Amino acid sequence: MFEQLFRRKNLDQIARDAEATEGRLKRTLGALDLMSLGVGAIIGTGIFAIIGTASAGGADHLGAGPAVSLSFVITAIACAFCALCYAEFAALVPISGSAYTYSYATLGELVAWIIGWDLIIEYAVGNVAVAIAWAAYFHQLLEGFGLNIPAWLSVDYRSAHQASDLVAAAGGSIRPDLALAYEAWTAHPTLFGIPIIFNSLAVLIVAAVTWVLVIGIKESARANNIMVALKLVILLFFIGVGSFYVTPENWSPFMPNGFAGVWTGASLIFFAFIGFDAISTASEECKNPGRDIPIGIIGSLVICTVVYVLIAMVLTGMEPWQQLGVADPLAEAFARRGMDWAAGIISFGAVASMAAVLLVFQLGQPRIFFSMSRDGLLPKGFSKVHPRYQTPHVTTIWTGVVVGVISAFANINEIVELTNIGTLFAFVLVCVGIIILRKTDPNRPRVFRTPFVPAVPLLGIAMCIYLMAGLPWVTWVRFGAWLSVGLVLYFLYGYRNSRLRNKDLTANERE
């Protein structure tokens, strides 16, 4: 049984199984599309929010100060170690399963299942948080135009109830960040005595993204390209206009809390780089994966790093670093100068950025399920391809329904904690897989090779483990519980229905 749990699919067999699947995904994406997908996934809430916390610090961590730009460079280097490993695998195994498929080829079926289950945290669960954040920014943007959506259609029930408790505890005093949720609690309608409070904006954006993803990968890529171009223009607008308000004195001292502050900042903003791995889920829809996927992964990481560093320099030059610990530091930097029109443009950029992140991650999750179903670890219906659009429509719709329903009622703070540890765990296994594959299959032709193996993947593993070790213990408990549920499902369904296991059993019976 132990051997069956860790049986591996060699790379040739993975390619043959993909070719033999009824219905094929359409290969239409080029290097520019993939690079755009990467930028779309990476540049999101991180640069619009986390940069302020990383600079100013907080009650439980030091601030990097103006040296947050150096934090971005350090984080980019750490991500590059993992990105190089992803690039080799994606070029070698141009299949839609990403880290799940790579683990199946190197670490065995049980580990592959675990990583497939784990990736739900990064893509689907993470997208719930993005949808909720998008809804909050979009509501603010509409208010700026004088359009008001009822509060009970803009937040979840639990947030509204918590806001009510906090306002009561404060003697009726309402903090600005609680105003919308408290309004929802005080003005909601009821149906048969049940309060009607749900986040309709989050549901609507998830539904719109799901529809775009179902009708075609090329159409999805075009929509993403438009949003990526839009947010890059807006970020360049911030850099260009903001540079006129830079005061060099704000950069001194450059490292107010020494390297400890810089390193803490790097740990925080690591999550502003999450997303480049989503490119690998589109491998099966790439025209020339061996060449284009490494270009897409590395290129998007380079572009985002340059943009991040420039924004960090301008932002810390505009405002004293101690004043940047706000939810929307880029917009606030203009608002404090009375430039509300510029702050509004930045807010619009945040909405476009999060919509692009939502689209790319919502693209990734169905393709993980698609690959797992093709291997028999999930029901066969999950590997169906739409006869007209040539997209994995069943898993796309299922993912959209689940993400939409949860985002309507979930609290963002409860969702976002799991995303970070799940992503880092996936990065570790991909780096481990490169080391193993270089030993077990050293002579296989590689279009792209991770340089300096095993040093690069070992550095990637070390960086990820270090960052995982700094996460709260409750996050580890929840992660363990999530993986335990996944293991139960594997033994109830996946183990029994695995195509690789059944193929091996059939071969043994013939012998």
Query: If DSSP states are collapsed to H, E and C, what string results for 41-109?
Result: HHCCHHHHHHHHHHHHCECCECCCHHHHHHHHHHHHHHHHHHHHHHHHHHHHCCCCCCHHHHHHHHCCH
Say whether domain 2-145+201-510 belongs to CATH 1.20.810.10.
no
- Identify whether the C-beta of residue 10 lies closer than 8 Å to the C-beta of residue 500: no
Q: What is the pLDDT of residues 278-300, one digit of tens each?
A: 787 777 788 888 888 889 989 99
Q: What is the pLDDT of residues 354-409, one digit of tens each?
A: 888 888 888 888 888 888 898 889 998 888 888 888 888 999 999 999 999 988 88
pLDDT at 275 over 80: no
Res 317: pLDDT: 95
pLDDT at 79 over 70: yes
Least confident of 85-89, 99-103, 130-134, 273-277: 273-277
Res 177: pLDDT: 62
Per-residue tokens: 98 = 């990403």
- Residue 381: which residues within 8 A CB-CB, separation 6 or more? 373, 394
List, in sequence order, every residue forming a beta bridge with 194; answer none if it has no partner.
191
CA nearest to 394, candidates 405, 378, 402, 383: 383
Per-residue tokens: 273 = 């780089």
Please state the pTM of the whole predicted model.
0.80
Res 200: pLDDT: 92
pLDDT band for position 51 (cuts 50, 70, 90): confident
Helix crossing, 157-169 with 179-187: angle to 10°? 100
pLDDT at 171 over 70: yes
pLDDT at 227 over 70: yes
pLDDT at 318 over 60: yes
Upstream peptide bond of 320 is cis (omega within 30 degrees of 0): no
Question: Hey, CA dihedral for 425, 427, 430, 436, is it positive or negative?
Answer: negative
- Reported as half-sphere exposure (CB side, CA atoms, 13 A), residue 61 has a value of 23
Res 326: pLDDT: 67
Mean pLDDT of 448-472: 87
Mean pLDDT of 117-141: 81
pLDDT at 24 over 70: no
Per-residue tokens: 310 = 């420039």
- Identify whether the C-beta of residue 259 lies closer than 8 Å to the C-beta of residue 70: no
Count other C-beta atoms under 10 Å from residue 233's C-beta.
12
pLDDT at 315 over 90: yes
**Percent residues over pLDDT 70 in the chain:** 91
Domain boundaries, the chain: 2-145+201-510, 157-197
Per-residue tokens: 390 = 């040539």
Q: What are phi and psi of 337, to 5 degrees?
A: -100, 10
Q: What is the pLDDT of residues 428-437, one digit of tens each?
A: 888 998 998 8
Mean pLDDT of 195-201: 89
Exposure pattern of 157-173 as b/e (b: 16+ CB <10 Å)?
bebbbbbbebbeeeeee
